[in-house]
Amino acid sequence: MAKEIQLIVNADDFGYWQCVSRGILHAANHGRITATSIMANSTILDELAPELLKVHSTISVGVHLNLTSGYPLSKGMKQWQSSMVGRFPGKGDLLKLILTNKLSLELILEEYRQQIEECLSRGFNIEFLNSHEHIHMLPMVYEIVRKLSLEYGIKNIRWTRPDIIKVNFSSMFRSAALGVMGLLNKNKSNDREPIMLGLSQSGKLSLEGLVRIFNKLQPGNTYELMCHPGFFDKNEIIDESLLGYHDWEGELALLMSDELMNLYTNNRVKLINYSSI
């Protein structure tokens, strides 16, 4: 018999918004995701953590290392950010600050360590690391994340990689940039990392897109499907620009659908968590 395809279904952004986190918990309670990554600087984490702990025995938990949304946790980063009204900068500004050495790697290390500690202190067993907006793939930042993974005994770091299934300028540019960063980081990577899927459809997974991706999967390999399911509450998420690249309820509906379950069956896909690799 042909070998099975092993798939980790990993929901990013737990703690990002209350409604999004509730959707992730809904998917977890129905066995439709097998992992989620926590935004440790979330202001609602105290409220959400007990509910995530209830499903922690069935899904893996990681840290969604974050330098671009909300407020920092570490003392050094808070002091540095005080000149920028306290909040993290956006992705573009952050990249400029890192690449021009205006944000020290020592501060990033301190902040990332504090985010990991924040999750550990709430009783989570941290099995993997990734980052909001894939900032950890910058070679100098990847080295920091790798150092922390060794320090805390965390075996897996997401290896963000392109999987272009539709062509537009944004996806081509992002894929090309991440492809280059992947090459620069290659000698530091762990060969056992699951092969990541979903970058080209990030925020708006579709059944059609997954059919095209799944047709190319190789039996015996282990993959990670990055997804962003959630409920949507217009009274909570008031920034309409986020709707341009997020369809939380669409992704949640897809994960809960019989069509996706049939796709798994037809392609001999077995859902696993990080504990199984």
Question: Side-chain half-sphere of 271: how many Cα atoms within 13 Å?
Answer: 20
pLDDT attached to residue 160: 87
**pLDDT of 240:** 85
Rounded to an integer, the average pLDDT of 195-224 is 92
Distance of CA 33 to the CA centre of its chain: 13
Write the pLDDT tens digit of every residue in 22-42: 999 999 999 999 999 999 999
pLDDT single digits (tens) 178-196: 555 555 555 665 667 899 9
- Position 84 scores a pLDDT of 61
- Tell whether the model's pLDDT for residue 236 goes beyond 60: yes
**What's the gap between Cα 109 and its chain centre?**
19
Q: What is the mean pLDDT of residues 216-221?
A: 93
Q: Which residue segment(s) compose the domain that 47 sits in?
A: 5-276
Give the DSSP H or E segment for 220: none
Q: For 223, which DSSP code? A: E
Asked if residue 16 lies in contact with residue 203, where contact means CB atoms within 8 angstroms, the answer is no
Whole-number average pLDDT of the chain: 89
How does pLDDT run across 47-81, given as a tens digit for each residue?
A: 999 999 999 999 999 999 999 999 999 999 998 87
pLDDT at 188: 60
pLDDT given for residue 135 in this prediction: 94
Q: Rounded mean pLDDT of 250-256?
A: 98
Share of the chain above pLDDT 90, in %: 74
CATH number at residue 16: 3.20.20.370
Look at residue 63 in the predicted model and tell me its pLDDT: 98
Confidence of residue 124 (pLDDT cuts 50, 70, 90): very high
pLDDT computed for residue 18 by the predictor: 97
Q: What is the pTM of this model?
A: 0.90
> 142-174, pLDDT tens digit by residue?
999 999 999 999 999 999 877 655 545 455 545
pLDDT of residue 180: 53
Q: Which residue has the higher pLDDT, 227 or 89?
A: 227
C-beta of residue 193 within 8 angstroms of C-beta of residue 157 = yes
Between the CA of residue 207 and those of 54, 78, 211, 213, 258, what are the distances in Å?
29, 42, 6, 10, 11
Q: Which helix (H) or strand (E) covers residue 60, if one does?
A: strand 60-65
CB 114 within 8 A of CB 41: no
Total domains in the fold of the chain: 1
pLDDT value of residue 5: 96
pLDDT at 269: 97
